[in-house]
Amino acid sequence: MKASTVVFLLVPLAASVDAALADNVKAQVEGMKASGKPEVFAVENGIYTCTSCQPEIKIKANGESQTVAGSSDYNEMVVRVLNPHSIEIVQQLNHKNRAFWGYNVSADGKTLTVSYDDYSTGKEAKGGYTATRVGAAPAGALPVSGSWKIEQINDGKAASAARAH
């Protein structure tokens, strides 16, 4: 095989790797939608649980950074309750913010609007999605909790992501 052929074969591979890294959060969201599996989380009695997350997450929803294990993308999370219908989540890797997520449920409790800012590559990428409730919140959990099926992904031009400080 000639050297030029090897370079020709490697360039598309490098480009696809760069594209995957450039939209890390976007790729995760698209993967969730494609799987057809709902996003399942709850905030109850000051505890945030995400049973659809890989690995599953169970941490305090007190606005403080907490260690989480099992992900190469983040090793700390902050969950802040803004009100019963809104929470924000910050994912951090080694104390550096990688992604901000804002979750807001509609007044009727049927639609979840999620926005994000992704800083995992050093460049900000914004986006979001809307989801439809497919499972009720556990008894006693905040209304933003429940099982949610992603319906529409937004490219970020109209999305306004929540920011934690």
pLDDT mean for each 10 residues of the chain (165 residues): 40 35 68 84 97 93 96 94 97 94 97 93 89 96 96 66 35
Instruction: Count the neighbouring beta carbons within 10 Å of the beta carbon of residue 43.
Output: 21
Residue 70 included in any domain: yes
Structural domain boundaries enclosing 60: 3-154
Place of tokens 């949610």: 148
Residue 57 included in any domain: yes
What pLDDT, on the 0 to 100 scale, is given for residue 156? 60
Q: How far is CA 25 from CA 80, 107, 108, in A?
A: 20, 27, 28
What pLDDT, on the 0 to 100 scale, is given for residue 136? 96
Residue 160 included in any domain: no
Query: Using an 8 Å Cβ cutoff, are 111 and 105 in contact?
Result: yes
What pLDDT, on the 0 to 100 scale, is given for residue 121? 82
Residue 60 included in any domain: yes
Q: From CA 130, how far away is CA 115, in angstroms rounded?
A: 9
What pLDDT, on the 0 to 100 scale, is given for residue 33? 76
What pLDDT, on the 0 to 100 scale, is given for residue 24? 76
Exposure string over 60-95, b if 16+ CB within 10 A, otherwise e: ebeeeebebeeeeebbbbbbbbeeebbbbbbbbbee
pTM of the model: 0.78
Question: Is the peptide bond between 55 and the residue preceding it cis, with omega within 30 degrees of 0?
Answer: yes
Residue 159 included in any domain: no
Give start and end residues of each alpha helix (H) in 45-118. none
Residue 139 included in any domain: yes
What pLDDT, on the 0 to 100 scale, is given for residue 4? 42
Q: How far is CA 66 from CA 47, 80, 140, in A?
A: 12, 12, 23
φ, ψ of residue 113 to 5 degrees: the values are: -110, 125
Tally of domains in the chain:
1
Q: From CA 6, how far away is CA 83, in angstroms rounded?
A: 56
Residue 117 included in any domain: yes
Q: Which residues contact 61 (CB under 8 A, 6 or more apart)?
A: 43, 46, 47, 48, 79, 80, 81, 87
Residue 164 included in any domain: no
